[in-house]
Amino acid sequence: MTPVVLGIETSCDETSAAVLRGETGLLGHRILSQDVHELYGGVVPELASRAHLRVIDEVVDAALAEAGIALADVDVVAATAGPGLIGALLVGLTWAKCVAYALGKPLIAVHHMEGHLFAPSIEDPEAQPPFVALLVSGGHTLLLWVPEWGRYELLGETRDDAAGEAFDKVAKILGLGYPGGPVIQRVAAEGDPRAYRFPRAMLAANQRPGDADYYDFSFSGLKTAVLTRVRELEAAGRLPSEVPNLAASFQAAVVDVLVAKTMRAVEEKGCRRVLIGGGVAASRALRRGLAEALGEGGRLFHPTPRLATDNGAMIARAALFHYEAGHLAPLDVTARADLPFPGLAR
């Protein structure tokens, strides 16, 4: 019998629940984005926890109602156990633990980034390993080699800011609001990506596989370079009209680095299959850049925007894999802000 998984995600500022039958049967799905954080230009952890607590019952009920399934008919209960904001994580995981205990259902504790890895396979059954994976979110930038589900080789990661974090910080510098990615994409469409030559960090032609920085990323210098330009333009009274050019040039710098490092992995692994996940995978410029670099013989797997940013469906999908592999969580499992990626080798 195909299991029905209830997936809960509350690691940051989205409260989400999904009912997934098998790998691709997304029967019900609700994502509630918290807007209180807009006032502060970033996520306020305590406000996030309280908001999750307020709405979690309604969000799960709505997903179940859409699926036409009673809670008692769910086979597996899953929630994100980390990484993320600890208070926010505890709301979803504790909710799942209580339901699993009360109904006597198996519980699966999911790593948030592994959820992002599984997201494209909900909509595209061919989005299966082997592939090179680029996971780019507000908190993480990971380049992985994935020979099979559950076995992950870490090729590179960011040394400072995550890719999404760079979008969020630069949007704040440009006065565009939060979250940064979508609004930078919108404003960049009116600008020239070649207007400013921003740095492409850790991208030198003489780097070789095995060099420490061959696959790693760094985005904090780029953010500072944008800030310096913004101050100069402000002093000259030219900032407002240059915002589209700055946004487009910044976006191009991030995309160039992400594409170049991903293509290094493609070459080294001899595998022209790439999967992108995480909020920044919603970027049209990134998808276009990777598709062009991969060319005719390559395959690019990416989630639709709704499954790119945080959602319960990807948690349910990753949970299904672990359920079938027998990786059940004990009822005393706890959330961890720094949960290690399961199956990850360096």
The sheet carrying 4-9 orders its strands as: 25-33, 14-21, 4-9, 76-82, 107-111
Residue 32 β-bridge partners: 15
137 binds Zn ion per the rule CB under 5 A: yes
Contact residue for ligand KG4 among 302, 310, 319, 322 (CB under 6 A): 310
Contact residue for ligand KG4 among 152, 167, 217, 219 (CB under 6 A): 167
182 binds ligand KG4 per the rule CB under 6 A: yes
Q: What mask, x for binding ligand KG4 by CB under 6 A, covers residues 244 to 263?
A: --------------------
Token code pair at residue 121: 């396979």
Pick from ligand KG4, Zn ion, none: which does 167 bind, CB < 5 to 8 A by kind?
Answer: ligand KG4
137 binds ligand KG4 per the rule CB under 6 A: yes
Report the alpha-carbon distance of residue 320 to residue 314 in Å, rounded.
10
Report the alpha-carbon distance of residue 313 to residue 26 in Å, rounded.
7
Q: Which residues contact 49 (CB under 8 A, 6 or more apart)?
A: 85, 87, 88, 90, 91
What residue number has its CB nearest to Zn ion? 137
Applying CB under 6 A, the span of 54-62, 204-212, 236-244, 276-284 interacting with ligand KG4 comes to 276-284
Contact residue for ligand KG4 among 280, 320, 335, 339 (CB under 6 A): 280
CB environment 121-159: b (16+ within 10 A), e (fewer): bbbbeebbbebbbbbbbbbbbbbbbbeebeebbebbbbe
- Residue 14 C-beta: closest distance to ligand KG4, Å: 7
310 binds Zn ion per the rule CB under 5 A: yes
Contact residue for ligand KG4 among 15, 16, 185, 262 (CB under 6 A): 185
Helices 284-294 and 180-188: crossing angle, nearest 10°? 70
- Residue 136 C-beta: closest distance to ligand KG4, Å: 7
Pick from ligand KG4, Zn ion, none: which does 282 bind, CB < 5 to 8 A by kind?
Answer: ligand KG4
47: number of CA atoms within 13 Å, CB side? 12
Contact residue for ligand KG4 among 7, 82, 115, 139 (CB under 6 A): 139
Query: Are the CB atoms for 285 and 248 separated by under 8 Å?
Result: no
141 binds Zn ion per the rule CB under 5 A: no
Q: Dihedral (C-alpha) 344, 86, 305, 42: value to the nearest 10 degrees?
A: -130
- Residue 198 C-beta: closest distance to Zn ion, Å: 25
User: Residue 141, SS3?
Assistant: strand
282 binds ligand KG4 per the rule CB under 6 A: yes
Question: Which residue from 51, 152, 52 is spatially nearest to 96, judged by alpha carbons?
Answer: 52
Applying CB under 6 A, the span of 180-188, 206-214, 219-227, 240-248 interacting with ligand KG4 comes to 180-188
- Residue 155 C-beta: closest distance to ligand KG4, Å: 20
Q: Which residues contact 135 (CB under 8 A, 6 or more apart)?
A: 113, 116, 117, 141, 142, 143, 144, 276, 277, 278
**Which residues of the chain form contacts with ligand KG4 (CB under 6 A)?**
12, 137-139, 164-165, 167-168, 179-182, 185, 278-280, 282-283, 309-310
**Which residues of the chain form contacts with Zn ion (CB under 5 A)?**
137, 310
